[in-house]
A and B are shown apart, each in its own frame.
Chain A
Amino acid sequence: MTAFVEYLLTGVARGLVFALLAMGFVLIYRVTRVVNFAQGAFAIFGGFITYSLLKAGVPHGVSEVLAIVAAALIGLIFGIIAIGGDVPLLASLVITIGLSILSEAIAMLVWGTIPITYSGLAGHDFVIFGAFIQRQYLIVVIVSLVVFVALLYGFGRTYFGKALSACASNPYAARLSGINVKRMGLIAFTLGGALGGLGGVLVTPLSPITYSGDVSLAITGFAAAIVGGLTSPGLAVVGGLVFGIAEQFVAGYWSPSNETAVALALLIVLLLWQAKRVPVGGLE
C-alpha cells in the first residue's frame, strides 16, 4: 500500500509535468499546425537557467520566474525561425528538429554533459498513508493545476483565447475577421516556451536533467498530447497523468529499464488508435 501510494503520487506529479509539455504541443499545434519537436528544449533550458541563477545567488522564486521568462523568449525565437515567413508545414517540423539539436549543442556548451539538479523549495517530506513524499511533488501538483485552470479559462473565456482558437479552426476566416494569424502563431510558440520552461523548472529538482534530456521529455509530452488528438488541452492533461503514472508503476513494480520501452509502445498504440479515429497530423 505504501509503495502503491508513493508510485501513484510521484506518478501524478511527473504526469503533470508531462501535461505541461503536452499543453505546449497542443497550443502550438492548434494555432500553427506545427508539431514542435523542440518542445523538450524549453524544459531543459528552464531547468538549466534556474540552476545557473540559483548558483549565482538569485533567490528561489525569482530564479524560477526568470527562467520561465527566458524559456518564453526562446519559444518566441524558435517560432520566428520555424514559422516566420512562408514555410511549408513539413519543413517547419524539420526546422524544429534542427532547433532541438541546436538547443542540445548550446546546452552542452554552456552547462556541460554532467546531469544537474537543484533543491526545490525548502520543506520537509510529508507522509501520506505511510509514504514519504517530497514537498516538491506537492508544489508540482499545485502549480500545474493553477496553470491548467488559468489556461482552460484563458482558452474559453478571453478574447485572446478565442482568437487563438479561431486561428486553430479556420485560419482563413480568422484572418478575415482581423486576427493576425502569424502573430497568434508566434504567441503560441511563446506560451509553449513558457509552459515547457515551467515543466523543466518543476521537474529538475525531482530528476536531474542533461543536455540530451529534451528528446525523451518531448516524446512523452507528445505522447500525452496525442491522447487528445493534439488539439484537446483537457485530454492532454489526462494523457500526461496516464503516462506519468504508468511510468512510475512500470519502474516501481517491474524494472526501471522497461520504463521507456513501455511508454513508447503505449505511444505507438495510442497513435494508431487515434489514426483510426481521426487522421492525426493530417494536414487537410
Chain B
Amino acid sequence: MSMRASRKIPLYAVVAAGVITLVLPLMLSSTNTEIYVTIGLYTIVVAGLSLLMGFAGQVSLGQAAYYGVGSYTAAILALHGWSPLVALIAAPIATAFLAFLVGVPLLRLKGHALAFGTLAFQLIFLAVVPETASLTGGSIGLSAIPSLRIGPLAISSGRDYAYLVWIVVVATLIIARNITRSRPGRGLRAMAASVSGASATGVEVERYKLKDFTLSAAFAGIAGGIYVFFIGYVSPDAFPVVLSIEFVIMVVVGGIGTVSGAFVGAALITVVSQVLTSLGTSPSLPPQLPTVLSLGVYAVLLIVILRLLPSGLVGAFSRLWKKAQSASPISHVEGDGTEGAISATGSEEPDELTLADEV
C-alpha cells in the first residue's frame, strides 16, 4: 500500500510540504498568519467532507453547521468555566455525537435527498442559534472567550495557533489517510461506486456510512473549536450556507476522496477568495463586488472542474505524473493484489474517485 501512496504523491513532496508549512509561520505577517490558520482549519473540515463524498458517496451541504456546532461547544464550555483545553477536546466529541444523532435517521436518505437534508439541518442551526440567546448569545454572538492553554503553554499569538493548527492538520490527514488505506476505507470506496455491490461483498454499508458521517462532523468540530479560540468571538454570521458550499467546492477542486486534495482545495480556494476580496475592495467599486466575484469564481470553478476534470486538480496532476513516469524506461509495480474491494467497482484507476453514481 505504501508503494501506491508514494507513487501517487511522492514522499519527498509530502516531506517538503511539511517542512515548508512548518517554517512558513516564522516569516508570515499577521494578516498572512490568519490566512495560514484559515487554510489549516478548512483543510481539516475538507478532509472529513472529502472522505464522506469520495468514500460514502454522499454530499453534505451542512458541513459549516458542524463547524459552527464545534465553535459554539468550545465557546460555551470555556465561558462556563471549563478549562479551554477540555472545551476544545469536547468540541469534536459533541459535534460527532450530534452528527450521530442526526445521521441515524438522515443517512436513510441518499445522494440528492441527503444534500437537501443536511442543508435543512444547517438552516435549522442558523434559525435556532438566534432564538437561544441565553446560551448562544443570539445573533450578537459570544465574545470574551478565554484564551487557550495547553498545560503551562499559553496559545495566544497567531504563530502559536499556526503551529497548533499544523499539528491538528497533520493528525487529521494521517487519520484520513489511514482510513482510506484500511479495510473499512476500501469498503467505503466500494460503497461509493456501488452500494449494492459493496453490501453484496460483505461491506457493512450502513455502519460505515454512519461512521464516516460522524467522523467528518468530528473533523469539522475540532476545526470549529480551534477557530473560536483563535478569533475569540463567535456569531451565527460566521457559518453561512455559502461556507458549506465552499467546503464542497474545496473538495471538488482538490479532488474528491484524496487526502492531499483536501489541502490543495482548501489552500487554493482560500487564497483565491483573499485575492478576489483585495481586488474587489476599492472605494471606487461597488461594495458587493468582492462577494459577486468570489461567488462567481466559485461557481465557475465548481462547474468547470466537474465537467472537465472530474478527479480534481490532484487527480489531474497525478495522472500527468503517472504518464510521465510510465514514459520513462523504469516501469513501476502495478497493484499489489490487496485492492479486491476496489477492483470490484470496475474502476480502471482505483486511486481516483469522482462523483460516481450509486448503481
Contacts and interface: CB of A to CB of B under 8 A. Distances in A.
Identify whether the interface residues of B are mostly helix, strand, loop, or mixed: helix
Contacts of A109: 288-289, 292, 296
Interface stretch (A138-146, A233-241, A256-264): A256-264
B124 A215 contact: no
B306 interface: yes
Contact of A94 (B106, B117, B292, B306): B306
Contacts of A215: 119, 123, 241
B215 interface: no
A95 B306 CA distance: 7
A1 interface: no
A101 B110 CA distance: 23
Interface string A104-142: 111011001100000000000000000000000000000
Contacts of B89: none
B120 A105 contact: no
Contacts of B339: none
B227 to A, nearest CB: 23
Interface string B80-110: 0000000000000000000000000110111
A31 interface: no
A105 B127 contact: no
Interface string B115-159: 111011101100110110000000000000000000000000000
B35 interface: no
A93 B358 CA distance: 14
A258 B131 contact: yes
Interface string A251-276: 00000011011001101100110111
A90 B120 contact: no
A105 B296 contact: yes
B341 interface: no
A281 interface: yes
Contacts of B295: 101-102, 104-105, 108
Contacts, number: 160
A264 B241 CA distance: 14
A126 to B, nearest CB: 34
B59 interface: yes
Given A85-B307, A93-B59, A94-B302, A268 B356 contact: no
A94 B356 contact: no
Contact of A271 (B113, B127, B289, B298): B113
B117 A271 contact: yes
Contact of B354 (A88, A219, A261, A274): A88
Nearest to A104: B295
Contact of B291 (A35, A108, A271, A276): A108
Find the residue from B112, B252, B291, B354 having the highest chain A CB count within 10 A: B112
Interface in B187-241: 241
Nearest to B310: A91
Interface in A56-86: 81, 85
A280 interface: yes
A18 to B, nearest CB: 14
Interface residues of B, number: 52
A93 B109 CA distance: 15
Identify whether the interface residues of A are mostly helix, strand, loop, or mixed: helix
Interface string A171-210: 0000000000000000000000000000000000000000
Interface string A210-233: 000001100100100010000000
B252 A108 contact: no
Contact of A264 (B108, B123, B291, B302): B123
A283 interface: yes
Contacts of A282: 110-111, 358
B28 interface: no
Find the residue from B130, B242, B357 having the highest chain A CB count within 10 A: B357
A280 B310 CA distance: 25
Given A101-B242, A264-B120, A90 B356 contact: yes
Contacts of A258: 127, 131
Nearest to A280: B113
A28 to B, nearest CB: 11
Closest 8 CB pairs of A and B: A281-B113, A102-B299, A98-B302, A105-B295, A35-B112, A275-B108, A105-B296, A261-B127
